[in-house]
Amino acid sequence: MGTILIIGAGGVSGVVVHKCAQHPEVFERIVLASRTLSKCDAIAAQLVTPIETAQVDADNVPTLVALIRRVQPALVLNVALPYQDLHIMDACLETGVPYLDTANYEPPDTAKFEYRWQWDYHERFREAGLMALLGSGFDPGVTSVFCTYIQKHYLDQIHTIDIIDCNAGDHGYPFATNFNPEINIREVTARGRYWEQGEWRETDPLSVARPFDVPEGIGSLNIYLMYHEELESLARHIPHLKRARFWMSFGESYLKHLEVLQNVGMTRIDAVEFNGQKIIPLQFLKALLPDPASLGPRTVGKTCIGCQISGLKDGAEKTVYIYNICDHQACYREVQSQAISYTTGVPAMIGAKLMMSGLWQGDGVFNVEQLDPDPFMAELNRCGLPWQVIEQAVVDLDS
Ligand code: NDP
């Protein structure tokens, strides 16, 4: 209960703010701060309940500390970019305030994400008696909670996890990304990686694909093996795990554009000289692409994100599939946003709600799968992301 300070005012933030405002019994006061004040004010203007806004550069720790001291929040919720994670964690430690985010730290000059940098904060948070919750979005976030829920209620041991992230939505543009273009393209163009028998195996980017019939008649999509950050934390936290993979659907148009952009060097993240100025091609590309926060009114169709999980139940092999389907237009009607931001923003609000109401507690740095899945799963059903379980395999990904 109390004040929440939300940092970042992009697509995901818009949903977090709307959803927090729907729970005034927990989020008694909402303060939204970001680099561009007008973006905070634009989100605030969408709400019936008044919220406070502020300008902050989250890469400047002293400024952030001053803001946190002024606002006195019960929690800082970070939905800026992964580059800010460590700075915001530093400011939380200095001011004694718990922390939550949805994406793990990435150094701006290397397309590499690892939990190591944030896990290294564990002792400092533990000694300060503070909780930091990492990856409370959909993937990472809900997908990891799905795994621990299945472990708790459907299987005695988990042996394999296949996370399958499908977006059958259409925004009508030949090429656009559904969340921050820079982060999205860095992730998608990375080498594929999955965890098997205690080690990481690599594949060329987007070189392994399978057809997937999305449940509830959504259609058949091609899904591609990729690396995703929750594989690292699941490999560490799920006992008996033998293999963990992540698959994401991409349409023909997205892949064709991405290939051309890569071939001409537009996805590079090193600085190049242009007219006497240094520019980073991927950041320039971001400036040209549609803002993900603007896709809401024009995106139709549904997302389906779930996990196919196999293991042992009462000594016998068993496979289950657990998933959520989310409708882009229904999200837009509720919070003026498309489903990718919605499916990230709702679990971020739920993580914050569980921390602020004391249901999820701990001293140190935690990933969501280290906590009791039941209250989170109940909140998903209540807060707009209902889930289903099918007690059999829905796809053969191995032939
Ligand atoms: P956007 O680019 O739409 O928004 C990012 C916001 O952060 C912008 O308002 C930006 O400010 C602000 N920001 C950037 N740098 C700073 C800074 N130094 N100080 C203060 N504010 C800053 O991104 P999204 O909303 O799409 O994504 C937000 C986060 O959610 C990302 O970390 C992304 O990786 C994560 N995510 C997680 C998912 C999951 O399922 N776990 C799925 C999708 C996204 P400005 O407006 O001035 O640029």
Question: Please, are residues 177 and 185 in contact by the beta-carbon 8 Å criterion?
Answer: yes
pLDDT of residue 340: 94
Within 6 A (CB) of ligand 1 lie 8-13, 34-36, 39, 56-59, 79-82, 84, 102-103, 137-141, 179-180, 183, 292-293, 344
Please choose from 18, 59, 81, 85 the residue to mutate so as to test ligand 1's pocket, defined by most ligand atoms within 8 A of CB: 81
Which protein residue's CA is at the shortest distance from atom 29 of ligand 1? 79
HSE, side-chain direction, 13 A CA sphere, residue 268:
12
Distances (CA, A) of 321 to 147, 153, 305, 309: 10, 13, 10, 6
- Give the distance (Å) from ligand 1 centre to CA of residue 98: 19
In ligand 1, the atom with minimum distance to the C-alpha of 102 is: 41
Q: Within its chain, how far is the Cα of 266 from the centroid?
A: 25
- Give the distance (Å) from ligand 1 centre to CA of residue 217: 32
pLDDT of residue 342: 97
- Give the distance (Å) from ligand 1 centre to CA of residue 30: 18
Strands 157-167 and 131-134, bridge-based pairing: unpaired
What is the domain partition of the chain in residue ranges? 2-134, 142-335+386-390
DSSP state of 80: S
Question: Please, are residues 305 and 387 in contact by the beta-carbon 8 Å criterion?
Answer: no
In ligand 1, the atom with minimum distance to the C-alpha of 81 is: 32
pLDDT of residue 237: 98
- Superfamily per CATH, domain 142-335+386-390: Dihydrodipicolinate Reductase; domain 2 (3.30.360.10)
pLDDT of residue 396: 95
In ligand 1, the atom with minimum distance to the C-alpha of 135 is: 41
Place of tokens 């007690």: 391
DSSP helix, strand, coil percent of the chain (3-state; round to 5):
35, 30, 35
Please choose from 5, 17, 32, 35 the residue to mutate so as to test ligand 1's pocket, defined by most ligand atoms within 8 A of CB: 35
Number of H helices and E strands in the chain, helices first, is 14, 18
Task: For residue 130, give the H/E element and its range.
Answer: none
Please choose from 76, 344, 368, 376 the residue to mutate so as to test ligand 1's pocket, defined by most ligand atoms within 8 A of CB: 344
- Give the distance (Å) from ligand 1 centre to CA of residue 180: 6
The answer to whether the bond into 140 is cis (omega within 30° of 0) is: yes
HSE, side-chain direction, 13 A CA sphere, residue 398:
8
In ligand 1, the atom with minimum distance to the C-alpha of 36 is: 47
In ligand 1, the atom with minimum distance to the C-alpha of 182 is: 2
Please choose from 102, 144, 350 the residue to mutate so as to test ligand 1's pocket, defined by most ligand atoms within 8 A of CB: 102
pLDDT of residue 261: 95
Does 3.40.50.720 match the CATH number of domain 2-134?
yes
For 338, the token pair is 């498309």
pLDDT of residue 186: 87
Which protein residue's CA is at the shortest distance from atom 31 of ligand 1? 81
Angle (CA) 344-350-353 rounded to 5° is: 145
Place of tokens 């793990």: 104
Question: Please, are residues 202 and 212 in contact by the beta-carbon 8 Å criterion?
Answer: no
Place of tokens 């973006």: 39
Task: For residue 378, give the H/E element and its range.
Answer: helix 373-382
3-state secondary structure of 184: helix
Please choose from 138, 139, 179 the residue to mutate so as to test ligand 1's pocket, defined by most ligand atoms within 8 A of CB: 179
pLDDT means per 10 residues, the chain with 399 residues, are: 96 97 98 98 96 98 98 98 97 98 90 90 98 98 98 98 96 91 88 96 96 95 96 97 97 93 94 95 94 91 98 98 98 96 97 98 98 98 98 94
The DSSP annotation for 292-342 comes to GGG-GGG-BSEEEEEEEEEEEETTEEEEEEEEEEEEHHHHHHHHSS-HHHH
d(CA 167, CA 254): 12
HSE, side-chain direction, 13 A CA sphere, residue 192:
17
E-strand stretches of the chain: 2-7, 27-34, 52-55, 75-78, 99-101, 131-134, 157-167, 192-196, 199-203, 209-214, 219-226, 243-249, 272-274, 277-279, 302-313, 316-327, 364-367, 387-390
